[in-house]
Chains A and B, each alone.
Chain A
Amino acid sequence: MIEVSGLSKLYGPRAAISNLEFKIEAGEIVGFLGPNGAGKSTTMKILTGFMPASAGIARVAGFDVFDEPVAVKRNVGYLPEIPPVYPEMVVEDYLSYAARLHEVPKNKLKNAVDRAIERTGLTQVRKRIIGNLSKGFQQRVGLAQALVHEPKVLILDEPTVGLDPVQIIEIRELIKGLAGQHTVILSSHILPEVTATCQRIIVINKGQIVAQDSIERLTTRMRQGLLFHLDVKDPNPAGVDSIRNVPGVKQVDIEGNRLLVELLPDGAGQRDRIVEAAVLSKMGVLEFAAEKLSLEEVFLQLTTQEGNT
C-alpha cells in the first residue's frame, strides 16, 4: 500500500530525512517511532502529497506522491499534529465539509458523516461548536475528519498527544479497531503508545531508519547476550567474585542489593551454577530472574547507538 525508497528531504543544507526505505502492506498498523525532530512529521507530510521530497520515490495506494498528488490525497486521511478544525463550526457541519472536500458524493454524505461520528464516539457532541469542546473531543473530531471519506491509508501524526490517560486509551482502542480496513501509519515519541497499537514499528532517528521490525522481534533482537538479575540480602565481595568466576558469565554489576549478571550467548546452561555460588557464599538469595529489556531500553539503545557512530 505504501512504498518508499531512497526518500530524502533537505531543509537548506540540513537533511530532515535521508534515504528512507520501507514498505507497508495493506491493513497493517505501523508506528513511526523516534525522538522529537527525528523526521517523523516530514515523512508523513511527504506521504500525504502535501510536501515534495528532495529525492527518492514514495508511492501511496499505487500513486506517486509527486506526480499525482491529488490522486494520493484522495486515498489518504491525514491527522496533523494539531487537528485542523475550525473552532467556530459545529461538529457535524465540519465533518460534512471535510467529506465534501474529499469528494464524498452528495447522496452518501449523511451516511459518511454519521459513520465517522459513531466510530469516533462523537454522538453526544455532534451538534456542538468545536471551539467549546475539550482537547480530547477536538482530537477525535480531527480523527473523524481523517476517516470520513473512508480512505485506504490513514496517516496520524501523534494522535494522542495532549490527551488525558482515559482519552489516550480510547483513541488507541479506536485506532486498533481500524486494522484490516485501513492501512494506518501513526507517529509517536512515546513507546507504550506504539506497543499498545501497532503491529510493526519503524524507528527513526536523525532522519534515518535505525530499525524496523515487529515489536517482539525487535525486543528479542536487541537482547544481546542474556541478562539476569539476582536479588540478595548481603552482596558480599567474595560471593560476587565467585559468581564472576562461573564459566559463561560475562560480567556482574552491583546495584545495591541487586546483582546484574550478563551471560555469554552460550552461558544459559550455567544459571544453576550462579545460584549455587550465591548460596555457598551465604549472600541470602531472594530472587533470580531473567531481566527483560523493555522496548524503552531497545529504543534508547537504538537511538544512542546512532548518536555514537
Chain B
Amino acid sequence: MKLGFNFKKSWTIASKDYRTYFTSPIAYIVIAGFLILMGWMFFFNLSHFNLQSLQYKQFGMGKGMSLTDGLIRPLYGNMNVILLFLVPFVTMRLFAEEKKMQTLQLLLTAPLTLGEIIVGKFLSAFLLVATMVLLTLVYPIVLIVFGNPDPGVIFTSYLGTLMLTGCYVSMGVLFSSMTENQIVAGALTFAAGLFFWLVNWASQSAGPVFSDFLDYLSLIQHYNNFSQGIIDTTDVVFYLSFTGLGLFITHRVLDSYRWR
C-alpha cells in the first residue's frame, strides 16, 4: 500500500472547514469573545503598568519597569489561558459533527488517506485560532507606536503561543474523533488541556527524576522561554511532537472504526 500524502487534498478540506466556521455563529462568537477579553486584558495590564512605573519613578527606582516584564509577558500569558478555554469550542465539531451527520462517509469513501483528512481538519481549526491570535497584533502595534517594546519578545511570544495552540488543537482533533457528541469532545479537550497545563504542580512533592519528567510534560513550562524571547529547540521539539502525537493517535482511532 502506497502511503502517499497529497497536501492539496488536505488543503481542500481545510479551506472548506475554515469557511464553514464563518457560515455558522461559532467563528464570530469565539473571535468576538476572545477579542473582548483580550482588549480588556490589554487595557487592564496597560493601566496597571502605567501606575506601577509611575510609582517606580516617584520612589527613584531607576528608569521604571520594562515593557517586557510589566506588560508583554502577563498579556500573552493571559492569552494562553483564554485560548485554553476557547480552543475546545473551535475543535469540538471537527469530527464529532461529521460523525453525527453521517457526512464523514463522504471523506472516508473519497480517494483520500486518513492522514490527509486529519491534517486538513487540524489545519482548519488551527488557522481559525491563528486568525484570532493574529488579530491581537493591534496591541503590540500600539505599543510600538507609543512606546519602545522589545520586538524580539513580541515575536517569540506569538511563535510560542501559536505552537502551544497547535497542541491544544491537536488534542481537540483527537477527542473530536473519539465521539459523535460535540459537548463530550469539547469537555475532554478542555480537561486534557488543563491537565497538561497543571501537571507540573505535582513536581514539588515528587522525587527528583519524576519531577523533572512532570516539568517536561507541562505545556506552560515550555512557554516560559518563549515569553522571555528565547527560542529553545527543546521547547520547539516538545510542542511539535506533542501536536504530532495527538494527530497520530487520531489516525489510529479513526482507522480502528473501519474494523468494527
Question: Does B16 sit at the interface, judged by CB under 8 A?
Answer: yes
Given A74-B111, A102-B111, A103-B111: A84 and B12 interface contact (C-beta under 8 Å): no
Question: Does B258 sit at the interface, judged by CB under 8 A?
Answer: yes
Q: How far, in angstroms, from A147 to B116 measured CA to CA in the complex?
A: 23
Q: Which of A44-52, A159-167, A187-195 contacts B (4 or more CB under 8 A)?
A: A44-52
Interface centre among B13, B101, B103, B109 (most CB of A within 10 A): B109
Q: Which of A31-39, A85-93, A242-250 contacts B (4 or more CB under 8 A)?
A: A85-93
* Total residues of chain B contacting the partner, CB 8 A: 25
Given A67-B1, A80-B105: A101 and B9 interface contact (C-beta under 8 Å): yes
User: Are the CB atoms of A80 and B111 closer together than 8 Å?
Assistant: no
Interface centre among B16, B24, B104 (most CB of A within 10 A): B16
Given A50-B108, A73-B111: A97 and B258 interface contact (C-beta under 8 Å): no
Question: Does B106 sit at the interface, judged by CB under 8 A?
Answer: yes
Please pick, from B12, B104, B109, the residue contacting A73 in the complex, using a CB distance under 8 A.
Answer: B109
Task: Annotate A95-114 by CB proximity to B: 1 below 8 A, 0 otherwise.
Answer: 00110111100000000000
Given A50-B108, A67-B1: A101 and B20 interface contact (C-beta under 8 Å): no
Please pick, from B1, B16, B110, the residue contacting A102 in the complex, using a CB distance under 8 A.
Answer: B110
Given A50-B258, A100-B12: A76 and B109 interface contact (C-beta under 8 Å): yes
Q: How far, in angstroms, from A13 to B250 measured CA to CA in the complex?
A: 27
Question: Does A287 sit at the interface, judged by CB under 8 A?
Answer: no
Q: How far, in angstroms, from A85 to B24 measured CA to CA in the complex?
A: 16
Task: Annotate B13-52 by CB proximity to A: 1 below 8 A, 0 otherwise.
Answer: 1001000100110000000000000000000000000000
Given A100-B12, A101-B110, A102-B110: A68 and B1 interface contact (C-beta under 8 Å): yes
Please pick, from B16, B20, B103, B258, the residue contacting A51 in the complex, using a CB distance under 8 A.
Answer: B258
User: Are the CB atoms of B107 and A101 closer together than 8 Å?
Assistant: yes
Dominant SS among interface residues on chain A: loop
Shortest CB distance B108–A (Å): 5
Q: How far, in angstroms, from A71 to B110 measured CA to CA in the complex?
A: 10
Question: Does B260 sit at the interface, judged by CB under 8 A?
Answer: yes
Shortest CB distance B167–A (Å): 28
Q: How far, in angstroms, from A97 to B14 measured CA to CA in the complex?
A: 11
Question: Does B113 sit at the interface, judged by CB under 8 A?
Answer: yes
Question: Does A264 sit at the interface, judged by CB under 8 A?
Answer: no
Report chain A residues within 8 Å CB of B13.
101
Report chain B residues within 8 Å CB of A49.
109
User: Are the CB atoms of B260 and A11 closer together than 8 Å?
Assistant: yes
Q: How far, in angstroms, from A302 to B105 measured CA to CA in the complex?
A: 32
User: Are the CB atoms of B103 and A70 closer together than 8 Å?
Assistant: no
Q: How far, in angstroms, from A282 to B20 measured CA to CA in the complex?
A: 79
Shortest CB distance A181–B (Å): 20
Report chain A residues within 8 Å CB of B253.
none
Q: How far, in angstroms, from A48 to B107 measured CA to CA in the complex?
A: 12
User: Are the CB atoms of B258 and A88 closer together than 8 Å?
Assistant: no
User: Are the CB atoms of A86 and B109 closer together than 8 Å?
Assistant: no
User: Are the CB atoms of B258 and A101 closer together than 8 Å?
Assistant: no
Question: Does A78 sit at the interface, judged by CB under 8 A?
Answer: yes
Report chain A residues within 8 Å CB of B106.
84, 98, 101, 145
Shortest CB distance A13–B (Å): 14
User: Are the CB atoms of B260 and A88 closer together than 8 Å?
Assistant: no
Q: How far, in angstroms, from A97 to B112 measured CA to CA in the complex?
A: 13
Shortest CB distance A115–B (Å): 19
Report chain A residues within 8 Å CB of B101.
84, 86-87
Report chain A residues within 8 Å CB of B12.
97, 100-101
Question: Does B102 sit at the interface, judged by CB under 8 A?
Answer: yes
Shortest CB distance B40–A (Å): 32
Residues of chain A in range 59-82 having any CB-CB distance to chain B below 8 Å = 67-71, 73-74, 76, 78, 80, 82
Question: Does B259 sit at the interface, judged by CB under 8 A?
Answer: yes
Report chain B residues within 8 Å CB of A48.
109
Q: How far, in angstroms, from A51 to B260 measured CA to CA in the complex?
A: 9
Q: How far, in angstroms, from A52 to B1 measured CA to CA in the complex?
A: 14
Q: How far, in angstroms, from A296 to B113 measured CA to CA in the complex?
A: 42
Q: How far, in angstroms, from A80 to B1 measured CA to CA in the complex?
A: 26
Q: How far, in angstroms, from A69 to B111 measured CA to CA in the complex?
A: 8
Which residues of A pack against B, CB within 8 Å?
Answer: 11, 48-52, 67-71, 73-74, 76, 78, 80, 82, 84-89, 97-98, 100-103, 145
Cβ contacts A to B, 9 pairs, < 8 Å? A50-B105, A51-B259, A52-B259, A70-B113, A73-B112, A76-B109, A78-B109, A88-B20, A98-B106
User: Can you list the 4 inter-chain pairs with the closest CB atoms, starting with the nearest?
Assistant: A84-B106, A101-B110, A74-B111, A73-B111
